[in-house]
Structure 1
Amino acid sequence: MMDTDKDKGYQYLIKAQKAYANQDFFKALQYFQKAAKKGVVEAYYNLGAMYNNGFGIGQDYQKAIENYKKAADMGLAEAYSNLASMHANGQGVPQDYSKALESLRKATNMGVAEAYTALGSMYYEGQGVVKDYSKAMEHYQKAANMGDVKACFHLGLVYARGQDVPKNYSKARQYFQKARIWGMALLVITWELCIVKDKVFLKTILKPCNIFKKQ
């Protein structure tokens, strides 16, 4: 009977995903709720995301946290990352970096690359911990090795700014390229140039490259 319920739950999940892809958010919400009642962990996670972002429904951080927590309690690592973000930003709960760190560490223990990046940023900014560029780099590097593009971007910034490491514009450029998000990288680089007016930085980072080449 339980297997039958779970199978039915996954059928609801598929219908929810199709409705969501078609931007029929109300129908998606209904099917995600049905799937969640059948014990489908991904349904709880997606409900959390819908309430968090307010796609097609009223934004409700409390319901987002409630559903993320259910998904996390059922063992979904990504849910811990989202809970950490909400605690860090004070969304639906008082801002609490300690709880954010706790959730991020659970997510990293479960192998979530984005959680390593977020943890690195907390060390980088000194949020809930003593500011530590070395630990930030350590976590960014772990995430980058796992293929997280945001981590590559942050590593590029650290090398460009020379924080805890000697300035290395060539390495910065390599990481920005790995991140494949040149639009964001160039905005930060422009800001850096306004501050440092460094011609080597300009020559190394902004030298011609195929950033608009079609993949």
Structure 2
Amino acid sequence: MKKIIFSLFVVFTTLFSLTFEEVKDIEKKYGDNDALPLYKKLAEQDDVEAMFELARIYLEGKVVKRNYFSAKQLLESASERNHDKSTYYLGKLYLLKKGPYYDPVKAYNTFVIAANNDYAPAQNMIGQFLLNGIAVDKDYILAVKLFEKASKQGYIEAQCNLAFMYASGKGVFPNFGRAHQFAKKGKEEGNKRCIKVWNDYNLEKYPEDKGWKFNFYTQP
């Protein structure tokens, strides 16, 4: 009975406008399947958040058949409207080796767009490209700078990557106390990257470097 009532509600509300936040609440309460037609309605009205959620649903393939083409179109549309999260996920779509659009160079160039908008996940991703020499030449110094920018926004994964850079001495002078400081929070939160760096370099035995200061970064 509740399902029938909600279905009638969906039919009724599609005739009127709901905000993205209202549809998000419906999704949390009833699931993606019931939110799907409402997200479609909002996407038709150029709501970038709805475009992103639709793309996510198409990529997950849980309530509808996985559709890379539709997801890509939605992410591109939202990205063109300066939705950095969609730009970032479009880049990740280009990194799916089993997907139809695998292209590391396109992925890098797409991440650059969001990174230039100061989007922390994209800055961190570009740092990893530079660290590992994916699609571009390795540049440890520039990678550190990108990790720092993302880290200063509180992005834990970037702090874990900075811990690795300081522990391994890539792009910076080795400093295990500083690596300890960058890895500690992520380790405590269960971040796999931070845990690996912490264990690989035995950072537990090094005192946290609390006194270091330099112009472009004062704390993680």
Give TM-score scaled by structure 1 length.
Answer: 0.79
Paired residue for 1:51, among 44, 54, 58?
58
SS class of match (1:22):
helix
Q: How does 1:60-139 map to 2 (within 5 A)?
A: 60-90=67-97, 92-139=99-146
Structure 2 residue 178 is the aligned partner of structure 1 residue 176: no
Alpha-carbon shift at residue 122 of structure 1 (Å): 0.6
Cα pair distance change 1:115/1:183, threshold 3 Å: closer
Give the CA deviation at 1:146. Answer: 2.0
For 2:197 and 2:66, locate their aligned partners in 1 and report how far apart those are by CA, in whole Å. Answer: 31
Instruction: Give the secondary structure class of the aligned counterpart of 1:89.
Output: coil
Contact 2:166 2:176 in 1 (8 A): yes
Report how many residues are paired.
191
Query: Contact 2:180 / 2:198 at 8 angstroms: preserved in 1?
Result: no
Larger displacement relative to structure 2 (57-66 or 147-156): 57-66
Q: Which of these residues, 201, 204, 207, is aligned with residue 206 of structure 2?
A: 204
Counterpart of 1:22, as a letter, is K
Shift of 1:182: 4.0
Pick from 13, 24, 48: which aligns with 2:20?
13
RMSD: 2.2
The residue aligned with 2:12 is none
Q: Give me the TM-score of the superposition, normalised by structure 2.
A: 0.77
Instruction: Give a deviation string over 1:19-67, Cα, whole Å, max 9, x none.
Output: 2212511111111001111221211111112222234333322222111
Superposed displacement of residue 137, structure 1: 0.6
Q: Deviations over 1:85-142 (max 9, x none)?
A: 1112346433212211221111122221111001101101111001121111111011
Q: Structure 2 CA distance, aligned partners of 1:31 and 1:105?
A: 32
Q: Say whether the 8 Å CA contact 1:172–1:205 is kept in structure 2.
A: no
What is the aligned partner in structure 2 of residue 167 from structure 1?
174
What is the CA-CA distance between 1:145 and the residue it aligns to?
1.5
> Which of 34, 38, 41 in structure 2 is aligned with 1:34?
41
Specify the alignment match of 2:198 in structure 1: 189
Shift of 1:84: 0.8
- Contact 2:132–2:138 at 8 Å: present in 1 too? yes
Deviations 1:140-199 (A, max 9, x none): 011111221111111011112222323211111111124453452224433x25xxxx6x
CA distance in 2 between counterparts of 1:139 and 1:81 reads 15
Maintained 8 Å contact 1:50/1:57: yes
Partner of 1:4: none
